[in-house]
Amino acid sequence: MTTGIRISHSTGQTRSALTISNLGQQLAHVLPARDWRKIQHLFGGRFADIAHIPSREAGKIADILCKAAGDRRMPSEWADLARLFADAGHRAARSGQTWTWE
């Protein structure tokens, strides 16, 4: 059974846990280790719990996702998804709201 994950402050489209995990694999290949360690908990494939990310942290995570999306080694389809997630994180940060992954 595929688990659907909804990312708040985005298009409302549900993403499969597999898609998010695969995005994580792409991120791990292009990010410096220090950045990857800051976000890897979101992409590890363990989605039993809802992630509640404070707005300040959401902005930091979004910045990391933007950095990865802009890396020339990131395949374009994964870069697009990383940008979508980054945009959602930035919206949560700007609005001062908790960013949820559920």
Which two three-digit tokens encode residue 35? Answer: 């950045």
Flag whether the pTM goes above 0.85: yes
H/E stretch holding 5 reads strand 4-6
Sequence spans of domains, the chain: 4-101
Residue 102 banded pLDDT, cuts 50, 70, 90: confident
How many whole angstroms separate alpha carbon 7 and alpha carbon 71? 23
Dump pLDDT digits (tens) for 22-56: 999 999 999 999 999 999 989 876 655 668 999 99
